[in-house]
Structure 1
Amino acid sequence: MQPIADADAPKPEFDLSSSEWYLNRELTWLSFNRRVLHEAEDPRTPLLERIKFIAIVSANLDEFFMKRIGGLKQQIGAGVRETSLDGRTPRQQVEECHACIRELEARKEEVFRQISALLENKNIVIERYQDLLAKEKKQLRDHYHKNIFPLLTPQSIDPAHPFPFISNLSLNLLVSLRYPKSKEISLARVKVPVGSGTPRLLQVGKGDHFVLVEDVMINNLDMLFPGMEIESCEIFRVTRNANTEKDEEKADDLMAMIESELQERKFAPIVRLEIGRGMEPAHRGRLAAELELDKGSDVFEVPGMLAMRDLFELVSLEYPRLHDPPHHPIDHPQLLSQRSIFHIIRDAGSILLQHPYESFSTSVERFLREAAVDPKVRGIKMTLYRTASKGRIIEALVQAAQNGKQVAVVVELKARFDEATNIRLAEYMEEAGIHVTYGVVGLKTHCKVILVVRQDFNCLRRYVHIGTGNYHTVTARIYSDVGMLTSDEAIGKDATELFNYLTTGFMAKRNYSKLLVAPLYLKKSLLARIDREIALQKEQGGGLIQFKMNALEDGDIVKALYRASMAGVKVDLLVRDTCRLRPGIPALSENIRVISIVGRFLEHARMYYFRNGGNEEYFIGSADAMKRNLEARVEILCPIELPELMNELRIVFDTQLGDNRSAWDMVPDGSYVQRTSGSKEASNGSQNLMIARSDKRLKDLL
């Protein structure tokens, strides 16, 4: 007979400030990339999609070095010894990240080798130049001479020629050569001209056979160095720190400051050197010394192909059976009518949008397109964080300005890696007569909001779009996001208040009745709601909190969720990548689940749910539970109040929490275990189920 637990027995006490209860931000992000790489390993994933996931992991790791390792190295250089929430110094974090990345890179190389063998069975092959037929070599040599050779600039490395500048993420050849009959070895560097019309993979022969452009260059060095004897040719690649931000509060001209940062980024310190297998130890040491790197820890030897992000070139091959089934977003059932979209929104009150399952073009873009030409529309205000450089969003805004409407756009110039694009767009929009501002000094504007002011009957009515994703036509097809079109009067007033704040920076006495706005109110509101759920749990039980987000990093939010679990509140966390919280620890977090969904679409939506004693609350918005988002960005969460819209969000939560194909459960030590199920329905995964549900909704209406 099992002993009955004593309900009055004292519960263990936990010091929630202790580092043992927190996972590391960087290591949990790298763990996410292990899950992404697993999609490449998974035989259920179509072959070219498996190549895509290898390319994604490679691009992610490049960015990780540029942003995260670069930032940690800056801290080391500044002598920072303070520990993170999980108790690690910057140096310890770099060392552990390096070890994790080396393991991840080795695994990636093995997966690529396996997939390459399978692709060869489909006649898709990356050949070695040396293995080509003589006529194929001639074909490539002719192509190289006409289309690549004129772009090359060999640079000597000797006392008369200082070590050349190496650009970020560039592929380079280090050539050892000498004059005939001379014993003296010289070195030269040649940059591999990938990009700007030169592909990494050069097609050869019939079918989809390719040779790497650097392989062609290595085997035709006699053109670059006629009469010289080539001793060796080795390949290397560098990654530079992307953290070059200045103090914008001291800037007289923000755009000029950002342009200066971009220029400095080109020459920023190098944080990683990748070299091909078998590089001469002396050359490895020489490169590390010239680039001011530690030849042991900062140098990564790659046994195969460097810069696998270029495998995206293979992914574009047209082999329907080697790709996921085509996905065509449906038109939202409430937006099928050709009536004015503003009349549709006014009649519905609010409409929930789910991308990429529902079309971005026929919802958000239509909203802007109609606003641009509707004679009753008086003004448009919008935030832009990332958008397509040549897209319908910008076209609609310019058309609206040309039609005499007041158009104001808040452009975030500091959107990492999109700064140059946003500067160009800001200048283009200003020339078209759009009022462009750059948000609040010291804060990134990350919220996604459109406000349209329209003359309805005898008064002005506000129409608002609030979303979780960027206003970007391309990513709207591959990122999973939610948004809402609404004519709610209170939300419209709050949006007006928000834009007045963004265009002036004055934050005193900003009154919001529905929107939760960071940095002043959002974090306090989330913590207050978690505390309320704890109180209601103690009074009546049934406490439930559910969050869906990209990352959970803020220590205060994690502590509050621990307290909720200890009080008996059930907590479900759908967290895509970084997560500091450790679930499943007896008496501390045994009521918390952490689930990560990885599939064909990038999970990008942020949704927050509180059971609230039966008076349920749902919010959507742009904010992850990260310290930077809650305290150093302008973010919003918007309530979803109509019952039918709340039900739509409930379906999203339930579908993803029940996923047995694409879901990974975190265990207490921070590692993840993928769910498995033998049933056919479960093998579809939540994203495929959402596709099927959207298609069914449309068919039921037609």
Structure 2
Amino acid sequence: MPAEHDPLRDSSLYFNRELSQLDFNFRVLAQAQDPQVPLLERLRYLCISCTNLDEFFEIRAGTLRHAQELGLTAHADGLEPTAVLNRIHDRAADLVAAQYECWNDVLRPALGDAGVRVLARDAWTPRQTRWLRAYFRDEIMPVLSPLGLDPAHPFPKILNKSLNIVVVLKGRDAFGRDGNLAIVRAPRSLPRIIQIPERISGGAHDFVFLSAVLSTFVDELFPGMEVKGAYQFRVTRNSELLVDEEEVDNIALALRDELVGRGYLRAVRLEIAEACPKPIVRTLLENFDLPENAVYRINGPVNLNRVIQVYDLVGRADLKFPPFQPRLLPGIEGMFERIAQGDVVLHHPFDAFTPVLELLRQAAEDPNVLAIKQTLYRSGKDSPIVEQLVQAARNGKDVTVVVELRARFDEEANLGFADRLQEAGVQVVYGVVGYKTHAKMLLIVRREGRKLRRYVHLGTGNYHSGTARAYTDLGLLTARPDIGNDVHQIFQQLSGLAPAIRLKCMLQSPFTLHAGVLMRIDREARIAREGRPARIVAKMNALNEPQVIRALYRASQAGVRIDLIVRGACTLRPGLPGVSENIRVRSIVGRFLEHSRVYWFGNDGAPELFGASADWLERNLLRRVETCFPMLDPEVAARVTDEAIDNYLADNLNAWELQPDGEYLKLVPAEGTPPHSAQAALLARLCG
């Protein structure tokens, strides 16, 4: 059928990706509003929703404004960038209002009742006020540089997401200049949350926002002048780095240059105190070159996400989730022998990440190991992975690491450990021009007798010890020759200039993964049309690739039963008669961030099961280097199906179901059905 006549291309069949991504934060905020969640964890969820919103504006809204300026056309949903930006403003305003209502009316009072007080200015006692004034004079005032605005002092550069106070002044200064407006910028060296000593406050956990202290005592910065008003504000800027990789000789140097100016790129959002007069708001908008629909008036601190520090400063186990101990794989002292016995799957955070670290440590020390190859996308600061790779190189191993310098917001960290690896003699490769290397692969070549054997780790998540305790992810450890050879060829392709390769077991973006997914969806549709049971289950973080969605629609029309577990943005519209009535979409939001990618295809009674680094997004399937690996061992496949698929489809406590109109409804246990939380079940089963 010609594309222009394909009814499945109708824009009404697609949600907008940006608006869908924005809506995910309402589901996160719902965790903060849930009285069944421990109180400090609710505070953490509130802060996560705020941080997510910041990143949304830095990336998604920033990209849309750029598209608007370039006059780019709409995507599958048919909405032009201007229309999307207008809808974003309305929806984000609803989210911001809900966030501050949750803070002001629910969490702050509840925390106070529990002995954790974040004190508003009107609640300070005289003794607390005296201590805070002294703290302002001794610790804050010496590092401030207030700037009065006049022809000789133009509006200063304002750093992305930094805390600032605009001050309205009356009177004349020592030079006879009339006061008007001044800007007070809070240096990054200052703590955004200040704890009042118990001897002063009488409470062990009493805190104030830096913004409240600045606003209260700002008059001391302008002696002899009258402060008529002080209003905190924050500007969010586009943080998407634009490096033309084909036009630069060294991407590392180009990125270093770009990072210097990242904090001062194009403004996309202005947050301002609710009481700020309109003329001042207009002045700020003019200086930041922002339209009216970029303003968000705030009923509280503009940097609410900074209250996350309270979570770390308060050691109240009764207000947090119970601690858990991840299960440790037996036989960890001999990882090569353990993997040689058969495939191993790790389900994080319920299974410890330690076996992966231990495998790398043993490889670094083993005289029979000849070479180590690894991809690194995000690894965190002081990464034990990096340290083991450095040690391996020092021990004479041939070590190659593919470092993705363009991992968003980790560029600086990745440049740093790339330098460290190179200094140790590691061969560092920066991936492929035009394609981010998002694959998660570790390959170890070991001499065993007269043969060389390859040991492989493939994962759905990053080589990051921190996120391995906070994100759900899957990792496969295997010594299967076919998979080892596939991984070897992919590394050869990444580090050299190899032609397209034919893999035996794995699928790879940008070459075979997209086509492989489409083929398997179409196969299920054909099986259904032939009158046999057909089923697809896929778990991922986001879905927006139009060809995949159309294939899923065709499969639904053919009678395939399709369950999609999509944590965040989903542009597929489920439940439409004649199109997608056989498709269900659910989102799981719980204690851990759902991050694993799993694809299951019924295949006429011979199921195929894959883990992957890729979501079903355009960028992952078409513009990144990704891996998709089969679970070939029957026991491994049975475990992953049970834990990562059936278990999540049974969740009726943390699951939200996407409706045809785009609304998500929280599921509740049906009468007579026992409550089931997928994550809680795995904690009880694997960590109990």
TM range, smaller chain: over 0.9
Alignment partners' CA distance in 2, 1:226 and 1:580? 57
Residue in 1 aligned with 2:538?
Answer: 547
Paired AA for residue 635 in structure 1: E
Alignment partners' CA distance in 1, 2:617 and 2:366? 40
Residues 477 and 197 of structure 1: is their aligned pair in 2 closer, same or farther, counting only changes over 3 Å? farther
Alignment partners' CA distance in 2, 1:389 and 1:613? 47
Deviations 1:366-393 (A, max 9, x none): 1111111111111100000000120211
> Within 5 A, what are the aligned runs for 1:495-534?
495-506=487-498, 508-534=499-525
Which of the numbers 331, 343, 350 marks the counterpart of 1:357?
A: 350
Paired AA for residue 308 in structure 1: L
> Within 5 A, what are the aligned runs for 1:641-656?
641-651=632-642, 652-656=644-648
Paired AA for residue 98 in structure 1: H
Alignment partners' CA distance in 1, 2:156 and 2:491? 48
Which of the numbers 551, 556, 574 marks the counterpart of 2:547?
A: 556
Alignment partners' CA distance in 1, 2:266 and 2:608? 47
1:132 CA drift (Å): 1.9
Alignment partners' CA distance in 2, 1:538 and 1:104? 44
Contact map agreement 2:654 2:667 (CA 8 A) in 1: yes
Which of the numbers 317, 321, 324 marks the counterpart of 1:324?
A: 321
Contact map agreement 1:244 1:268 (CA 8 A) in 2: no
Given the two structures, how large is their TM-score scaled by the length of structure 1?
0.94
Which of the numbers 311, 316, 321 marks the counterpart of 1:315?
A: 311
1:197 CA drift (Å): 5.8
Residues 155 and 521 of structure 1: is their aligned pair in 2 closer, same or farther, counting only changes over 3 Å? same
Residue in 2 aligned with 1:297?
Answer: 293
Deviations 1:6-50 (A, max 9, x none): xxxxxxx97001001011101111111111111111111111111
Deviations 1:403-444 (A, max 9, x none): 111111000000011101101110111001111010111100
Contact map agreement 2:611 2:628 (CA 8 A) in 1: yes
Contact map agreement 2:332 2:355 (CA 8 A) in 1: no
1:188 equivalent to 2:185? Answer no
RMSD after superposition: 1.7
Residue in 1 aligned with 2:246?
Answer: 249
Alignment partners' CA distance in 2, 1:505 and 1:242? 31
| 3-state DSSP of counterpart to 1:340 | helix
1:286 equivalent to 2:279? Answer no
Residues 280 and 396 of structure 1: is their aligned pair in 2 closer, same or farther, counting only changes over 3 Å? same
Paired AA for residue 186 in structure 1: N
1:97 CA drift (Å): 0.8
Alignment partners' CA distance in 1, 2:265 and 2:392? 41
Choose 339-348 or 62-71, whichever is displaced more: 339-348
1:289 CA drift (Å): 0.7
Alignment partners' CA distance in 1, 2:613 and 2:448? 29
Residue in 2 aligned with 1:270?
Answer: 267
Choose 529-538 or 270-279, whichever is displaced more: 529-538
Residue in 1 aligned with 2:67?
Answer: 75
Residue in 2 aligned with 1:175?
Answer: 167
Residue in 2 aligned with 1:610?
Answer: 601
Residue in 1 aligned with 2:145?
Answer: 153
Residues 339 and 302 of structure 1: is their aligned pair in 2 closer, same or farther, counting only changes over 3 Å? closer
Alignment partners' CA distance in 1, 2:214 and 2:142? 12
> Within 5 A, what are the aligned runs for 1:521-670?
521-651=512-642, 652-670=644-662
1:411 equivalent to 2:365? Answer no
Alignment partners' CA distance in 2, 1:681 and 1:566? 30
Contact map agreement 1:530 1:564 (CA 8 A) in 2: yes
Contact map agreement 1:172 1:192 (CA 8 A) in 2: yes
Given the two structures, how large is their TM-score scaled by the length of structure 2?
0.96
1:682 CA drift (Å): 4.5
1:540 CA drift (Å): 4.2
| 3-state DSSP of counterpart to 2:476 | strand
Contact map agreement 2:650 2:676 (CA 8 A) in 1: no
| 3-state DSSP of counterpart to 2:677 | helix
Residue in 2 aligned with 1:198?
Answer: 191
Alignment partners' CA distance in 2, 1:624 and 1:428? 31
Alignment partners' CA distance in 2, 1:146 and 1:69? 40
Paired AA for residue 615 in structure 1: A
Residue in 2 aligned with 1:10?
Answer: none
Alignment partners' CA distance in 1, 2:249 and 2:366? 39
Alignment partners' CA distance in 2, 1:50 and 1:680? 29
> Within 5 A, what are the aligned runs for 1:216-231?
216-231=213-228
Choose 552-561 or 537-546, whichever is displaced more: 537-546
Residue in 1 aligned with 2:420?
Answer: 428
> Within 5 A, what are the aligned runs for 1:475-494?
475-494=467-486
Deviations 1:164-212 (A, max 9, x none): 000000010111223369994321111123x446242433523211111
Residues 522 and 322 of structure 1: is their aligned pair in 2 closer, same or farther, counting only changes over 3 Å? same
Paired AA for residue 109 in structure 1: Y
Paired AA for residue 34 in structure 2: D
Alignment partners' CA distance in 1, 2:355 and 2:295? 48
Residue in 2 aligned with 1:340?
Answer: 334
Contact map agreement 1:441 1:505 (CA 8 A) in 2: no
1:666 CA drift (Å): 0.9
1:130 CA drift (Å): 4.2
Contact map agreement 1:69 1:94 (CA 8 A) in 2: yes
Alignment partners' CA distance in 1, 2:674 and 2:128? 48
Which of the numbers 42, 46, 56 marks the counterpart of 2:34?
A: 42
| 3-state DSSP of counterpart to 1:220 | helix
Contact map agreement 1:201 1:313 (CA 8 A) in 2: no
1:675 equivalent to 2:667? Answer yes
Alignment partners' CA distance in 1, 2:333 and 2:231? 64
Choose 308-317 or 140-149, whichever is displaced more: 140-149
Contact map agreement 1:382 1:409 (CA 8 A) in 2: yes
1:543 CA drift (Å): 0.3
Contact map agreement 2:61 2:85 (CA 8 A) in 1: yes
Contact map agreement 2:471 2:593 (CA 8 A) in 1: yes
1:134 CA drift (Å): 2.2
Q: Which runs of 5+ in 2 are unaligned?
A: none
Which of the numbers 80, 83, 90 marks the counterpart of 1:89?
A: 80
> Within 5 A, what are the aligned runs for 1:43-58?
43-58=35-50
Number of paired residues? 675
1:147 CA drift (Å): 2.0
Alignment partners' CA distance in 1, 2:526 and 2:603? 10
Residues 430 and 478 of structure 1: is their aligned pair in 2 closer, same or farther, counting only changes over 3 Å? same
Paired AA for residue 17 in structure 1: R
Alignment partners' CA distance in 1, 2:151 and 2:358? 62
Paired AA for residue 266 in structure 2: P
Contact map agreement 2:324 2:687 (CA 8 A) in 1: no
Alignment partners' CA distance in 2, 1:590 and 1:14? 19
Contact map agreement 1:244 1:264 (CA 8 A) in 2: no
Alignment partners' CA distance in 2, 1:445 and 1:74? 25
Choose 95-104 or 243-252, whichever is displaced more: 243-252
Paired AA for residue 340 in structure 1: G
Paired AA for residue 53 in structure 1: Y
Alignment partners' CA distance in 1, 2:627 and 2:16? 26
Contact map agreement 2:179 2:225 (CA 8 A) in 1: no
| 3-state DSSP of counterpart to 1:148 | helix
